[in-house]
Amino acid sequence: MKSLLKLSDVCYAYHSRSGETCALENISFQVQPGEFIAVVGPSGCGKSTLLSLISGLLIPESGTILFAKREGEGGPPSDFAAGSSADGPVNSALREKIGYMLQKDHLFEWRTVYRNVTLGLEIQHRLDDGGKARIDKMLRDYGLERFRDARPSELSGGMRQRAALIRTLALGPELLLLDEPFSALDFQTRLAVCDDVSAILHREKKTALLVTHDLSEAVSMADRIIILTKRPARIRKIIELNFEQEGLSPLARRSTKEFQEYFNLLWEELNDNE
Ligand code: ADP
Ligand code: MG
């Protein structure tokens, strides 16, 4: 299968007056369409930096980030359109189709739930009948229909996160970058929202990269887990998850024997200071 995204030897350092902080070193991996990848690693190792590089907010110091070519997209004959390298960012059709979701939901209290989820499309002047219909359907499907005229403060933590996800999905992203999006939620809510989000992403056939420091969250949601070392982050190991029973929800995965095995494996990798 053709990869959607390919990172090769990506390095990045922050420069400030007090010196240089090397955040990422020689990061290489590929992402297949429809895959759910979790990225775990010690706090401060460079996980958010990795997502910023993929989204194009930051440019690698060396190495390349390439995106799969869309149908009809020009450029040299290759499966990949340019992404970015030390030479600078190059726009590709796919890069414009990245959705970014952060720990904080960034809902605006002065707008209703409906006008929050339409905001992205509004800004891009794309809020047409098709967009409105898609949003209406997601509000219904994801249990927020009754709250469309409510203010964000009237929603529970889980509902807010679902609203933020709808706003992201409304833009029709093909690749979702999720940076610890559940970490502000209490444990109970987090379990439920993980199930929701996982079902939504599967139904919408999205490709996702989830950064998390919660090992059980990674094991319950991902197809593959990339384990990073402490800063500067290098790839320590990539684990492919295989559950005897396929298509389990994150919550159902938690009570399988494989869950415990993968959790222990991750724990050992992250606590082995070699
Ligand atoms: P993580 O998301 O894994 O916790 P980050 O990618 O946010 O880690 O940060 C990696 C390292 O880079 C940290 O040591 C952090 O202090 C440093 N860092 C992050 N952003 C900046 C910045 N804008 N300027 C300087 N250093 C930064
Ligand atoms: Mg971070």
**Domain edge (last residue) among 122, 151, 172:** 172
Same domain, 119 and 246: no
Ligand 1 pocket, residues with Cβ under 6 angstroms? 14, 16, 21, 23, 41, 43-49, 231
Q: How far is the CA of 184 from the centre of ligand 1 (A)?
A: 19
Atom of ligand 1 nearest to the CA of 49: 6
Sheet holding 224-228, edge to edge: 98-101, 175-179, 207-211, 36-40, 224-228, 235-240
Tell me: do 74 and 121 sit in the same domain: no
**Among all ligands shown, which has an atom nearest to the Cα of 23?**
1
Q: Whose CA is nearest to atom 26 of ligand 1?
A: 14
> Minimal CA–CA distance to 3: which of 62, 114, 80, 90?
80
Q: Give the distance (Å) from ligand 1 centre to CA of residue 46.
A: 6
Q: Which atom of ligand 1 is nearest to the CA of 15?
A: 25
Q: Please give the distance, rounded to the nearest whole angstrom, from the Cα atom of residue 103 to the centre of ligand 2.
A: 9
The pLDDT assigned to 143 comes to 85
For residues 83 and 190, membership in a common domain is answered with yes
CA–CA distance, 116 with 107 (Å, rounded to integer): 6
Range of the domain at 49: 5-97+173-273
The answer to whether the peptide bond before residue 173 is cis (omega within 30 degrees of 0) is no
Distance 232 CA to ligand 1 centre (A): 10
Is residue 134 domain-shared with residue 219, that is, in the same domain? Answer: no
Q: What is the CATH number of the domain that holds 40?
A: 3.40.50.300
Low-confidence ranges of the chain (pLDDT < 50): none
Q: Do 188 and 124 belong together in one domain? A: no
What's the pLDDT at 96?
Answer: 67
Instruction: Mark whether 90 and 191 lie in a shared domain.
Output: yes
Task: Report the number of distinct structural domains present in the chain.
Answer: 2
- 52 alpha carbon, closest ligand: 1
- Ligand 1: atom nearest CA of 180 is 2
Give the closest ligand to the alpha carbon of residue 45.
Answer: 1
Together in a domain, 160 and 178: no
In a domain, 102, yes or no: no
**272 CB-contact burial (10 Å; exposed 0-12 / middle 13-18 / buried 19+):** exposed
Q: How large is the greatest C-alpha to C-alpha distance in the chain, in angstroms? A: 56
pLDDT at 248: 94
Q: Which atom of ligand 1 is nearest to the CA of 211?
A: 2
Report phi then psi at 227, rounded to 5: -100, 125
Report how far residue 264's alpha carbon sits from residue 200's, in angstroms, rounded to the nearest whole number: 28
Nearest C-alpha neighbor of 75 from the set 95, 102, 46: 95
| Cα(75)–Cα(206) distance, integer angstroms | 25
pLDDT (tens digit per residue) in 188-229: 888 888 888 898 888 878 899 999 989 999 999 999 999 999
- Predicted confidence at residue 227, as pLDDT, reads 97
Q: Is the pTM of this model over 0.85?
A: yes
In terms of DSSP H, where are the helices of the chain?
A: 47-55, 113-117, 119-123, 129-141, 157-170, 187-203, 215-221, 250-253, 257-271
Q: Is there a domain that residue 229 lies in?
A: yes
The last residue of a domain, from among 155, 172, 189: 172
At residue 265, φ and ψ (nearest 5 deg) are: -60, -45
